[in-house]
Amino acid sequence: MNEFLTIDIGNTKAKYAVFNDKNIVETNVFDPLADDLGKVLKQHPYINKGIISSVGGKVDECLAQLKSIEMTVLSSKTKLPFSLTYREKTKIGADRLALVAAAYAEKPHQNSLVIDIGTCITYDILTADDRHLGGPISPGLQLRFKTMHEHTALLPLCEPTSDELKIVCDDTVECLQSGVQLGVLYEIKEFIRLYSLSFNDLNVFITGGDNIFLQNKLDFCSFASSNFMFNGLRLILEYNENQ
């Protein structure tokens, strides 16, 4: 049985997925400071390797629980199925590399834009000739709400809504929700338009924890499943094994 572990530590949550070949058999959130990963290994004794992507630190704490298996820590030094054009390669986030790899797994040798809507919103291009081009980073939904609350005296802390957003609002909460969520929507639409002018037949993948608030509001986009990044990590691990 060929089982392996993929780990994604973001700014707000840490998640793992256990693969059996190309199929996910278990996925969950975990606490990097507890013994959660050790318990995963006990439940899946056939796991003998894994890969970890982290932008939230706590890599050493995870590796301490995984001494019995061979682990790859994803970075710009990891062998990838695409080339990096980023000038500061060592500073590019591992999460962005994993997401680009996921786009490669879905649409190899095609122009793809990956938009990750999490704590921050990131834009990454994978070209048809397998080059990764870094793109803008802007504040995510929660960060925009939090910043307006913390840097003003009277504005309340709001949460995103799935209700219809209006440009004529009835109260402060509606004003904040419309400003933030429509602002993000229009920002993303304009970036997609601009990228489409430069890259023919562009595939657009929308991922990240807050993508649910944009579903049905963006045409011609693929809203990635929650396993999108895990599949990118799986591809990178397989790619390194075959080199």
Q: Which residues are catalytic?
A: 95
Helix, strand or coil, per DSSP, at residue 69:
coil
Question: Quick one: which of 102, 146, 100 has its CA closest to 120?
Answer: 146
Pairing state between β 131-139 and 14-20: unpaired
Residue 42: its H or E element: helix 36-43
Tokens coding 148: 């307006």
The residues, any chain, with a CB within 8 Å of residue 86's CB and separated by 6 or more, are 76, 92, 132, 133, 134
How many other C-beta atoms are found inside a 10 Å radius of the C-beta of residue 45? 10
Alpha carbons 52 and 227: distance in angstroms, whole number: 14
SS3 231: helix
* Ramachandran sector of residue 104 (left: φ over 0; alpha: ψ -120 to 50; beta: rest): alpha
Q: What is the DSSP letter of 166?
A: -
Between CA 224 and CA 202 the distance in angstroms is: 15
